[in-house]
Every structure is written in structure tokens, then in C-alpha cells.
Amino acid sequence: MLLNCDQPLPLLSHTDVPPRVTENFILTGYRFPNYRLRDCLLSAFRPTNETGNFWTHFLPIFIFAYYFVEVFGWDGAPDANAPFFYPMWNYFIGVFFLLMASSMAHLLNSMSLVVREVCFFVDYGTISSYTVGSSLAYYYYIHPRAGIVEKGDRNSSDLNLSHEHKGIITSFFNLFFDTYYMPCACIIAIICVLSCCNTRQRWREHRYIIRTLVFLLPFLMSSTPVFYRVLTRSPYSTTSSSFAASTTMPSFFYRHSLWLLVSALFNISKFPERLAPGCFDIWGHSHQWFHCCTFLSILDELHMIQAEVRAILLNPDFLLPPTTLSRLPGPTIASTYGLMLLLQTTIVSIILCFSWRANCIYGPQRDQLKKEHSMKHMKVT
């Protein structure tokens, strides 16, 4: 019997699985796409070519959570459920589902060709959600003026946040941050989902380059508040503790960007397995290094955001939003969780559409593949 409860299913060569399952320069360690859920879960503890892909994004969930909760224990921090932390929680949700969906996609994709497609559609969707979660954190904590006002009766426009924000360029930045930043982040996230899902059904030859370049767009979009802060003077007095806390932000951003660049190079180049096909099938192939680098970039991004949160909390001359004195409103349920819910609804609709198309393409092949694989297995034995 092919499915033996006492023995794990055999691992196969790239010639023994459907072409849809194979990866460039990975020759062995494949699972045939007929696994049950139990078989998939147990394969996390077997040396398959997906084992490392699973663990390099599953274990980081706990590392990220460990560093994330630090912010709630800082002096002056409001309660964890306070509106001030709504963007942080949305950022956490984005990262959590990105890492969980990625690890589960690599673990469960051998149940069938249709399930494989759906797993990676969900993976792309959570990446896009993460970019919007990051944008929310950038908007409320790194944005030059968003939702933070001086105590007293003076309007926030009097603050020395950008030295009166005069000139055409500064006015453009103000208008962009105030009005277009979050809508653009959401639109680009939706474009990313559509493009990446399409690479699984067309543009297959250049799929890795397309996916990498597509996700460069949300990075550039989300990082505009950081670019602004790096290129202008700090909003804090140079003698304040807030200034000292905020000075680490650029270095974390540079490291965040560097790890993203390295991860992109691994994803496109398929190094090192390109140099020695078959030698890195189980451990050390490019996708595992890609996962490690992307997580390191997320970790530096978390530290960057926390540096700005600490700077805000250390500044005694500022009042947390919302308030009538604020030029921009502070975080609310609608502007954070509501926005993410609306985005998720759109992304789920896109995933359902592509999943239906995948089922039309690969669903009829399910029984035929199982029959062919069973006959090949019988000949071998």
C-alpha cells in the first residue's frame, strides 16, 4: 500500500514529481503532491527540501514576539491596548501572518497541486498585508507630524518638526504624507498580490525576478517617511533623551535595507545551488538563506520602529493623540484595524479568484497523477 501509516512516504527525485513541483537546481528531497495533512506535519521533522524553508520562518515567530513585547514594559508606555499601540499591533499581526503563512505554505504544499497553489497565494497575500502593517507603524511613529502635538495651547504647526516646512518640496511631502501615503500603500499591496499570483499561472520563466521587483515597490513606498526623516534634521532637541533614542533609527533602517537587498540576490540568483546542483537540496539552498535574510530585515525594522516609539515616549513636551490640537488624527480602530480588515477582504477575494482558476487547471489532474504515481511505485517495488 502506498500510504503506510508506519513508514514515512518516500522522498523523490525531480524526475519523479510533476514539473510544477520542481525548483531550479534542486534535484532530490521532493514530496509527491498526494500527502495527507498528517504526513505533511510529520515531514517537518524529516530532511526534505522544504524542511529548512519551514523552520527558517517558523522559529522566527517566537524570536520576533520576544523582542516585540519589550515596548510595553518601557517607562511611560501606555497600556498595551491603548490607541497609541494600535499601529504596533497591526504591524505585529502583519509580521505574524507573514511568517506563519510562509512556513505553513512550505509545509503543506504537498497535499495536492491545487493546495500548493493556494498555499502560495496566501503567502503572497500575507506579504502584502505585512507591507501595509509596516506602513501604519511608519505613518504613526516615524511620520514627521502624525498625531503628536505639543502640550499647551500652541498648534502643532509651531513645532520644530521640520523647521516650518517651507518650500515646494516640503509642501509636496506634507500633502503626500497627510493624504496619499496610506492609500498608495494599500493600492501597491493589492498590485503586488495580483502580480505575484499571476506568476504562478503565467510569466513562469521570469517568476522570481518579477516577484522580487514587485515587492520592491512597497518597500520604496512604505519607506518614504524614513527617507524624509533621514534626509532632514531630527524633530527632537539635540540635548533631549528623545534625540538620543531616535539617533539609532537610521542605522537600523540601513541594516533593514541591506538584508532585503541580500535576500533579493539570493532569490534571483539561486546561489549556491546553481553552482552545484544536488549538493544543497536539503540544507543551505538559496530559499533558506532568503528566509533568514528577510527575517533579519524584519527584526531590524522592528528595532527601528521601537527606537521611534521610545523617542516619543521619552519626550515630556509631547502629548499622545488623539487630540483637537493634532494636525493629523491619532491612531483609531477605524484607521488601523479597520484599514487592515478592508485590505484583507480585498486580498482574500483575489486569492479566492486565483484559487478557483488553479482548481480548474489542476483539479482534473489530481486522480491521474495519483494513478501514474501508484503505477510507477509498483514498478519500482
pLDDT band at 175 (very low <50, low <70, confident <90, very high): confident
**For residue 274, which of 87, 88, 26 has the smallest C-alpha distance?**
26
DSSP state letters, 58-79: HHHHHHHHHHHGGGGGSTT---
pLDDT at 322 over 70: no
Q: Is 76 exposed, middle or buried, given 0-12, 13-18 or 19+ CB atoms closer than 10 A?
A: exposed
Task: List residues bridging with 292 in a β-sheet.
Answer: none
| pLDDT given at position 144 | 60
| pLDDT given at position 171 | 72
Cβ 354 vs Cβ 121: under 8 Å: yes
DSSP state letters, 202-253: S-GGGHHHHHHHHTHHHHHHHTHHHHHHHHS--SS-TTSHHHHHHTTHHHHH
| pLDDT given at position 155 | 40
pLDDT at 278 over 70: yes
Q: Which three three-digit cell numbers place residue 116?
A: 500548493
Contacts of 88 (CB under 8 A, 6+ apart): 68, 71, 137, 305, 309
| pLDDT given at position 242 | 86
In tens, the pLDDT along 20-64 reads: 899 999 999 999 998 999 999 999 999 999 999 999 999 999 999
pLDDT at 115 over 90: yes
| pLDDT given at position 211 | 86
Q: Which three three-digit cell numbers place residue 59?
A: 522559529
Cα–Cα distance for residue pair 106/123, rounded to 1 Å: 10
Torsion of CA 320, 151, 311, 260, to 10 degrees: 60
In tens, the pLDDT along 341-377 reads: 999 999 999 999 999 999 998 888 766 666 665 555 5
Cα–Cα distance for residue pair 262/76, rounded to 1 Å: 37
- The average pLDDT across 70-93 equals 93
pLDDT band at 168 (very low <50, low <70, confident <90, very high): low
| pLDDT given at position 158 | 38
pLDDT band at 157 (very low <50, low <70, confident <90, very high): very low
The whole-model pTM stands at 0.89
- Name the one residue in this structure whose C-alpha cell is 480588515: 341
pLDDT at 76 over 60: yes
Average pLDDT in the chain: 86
In tens, the pLDDT along 326-343 reads: 455 678 999 999 999 999
Q: What's the full length of the chain, in residues?
A: 381
Cβ 28 vs Cβ 13: under 8 Å: yes
Cβ 123 vs Cβ 102: under 8 Å: yes
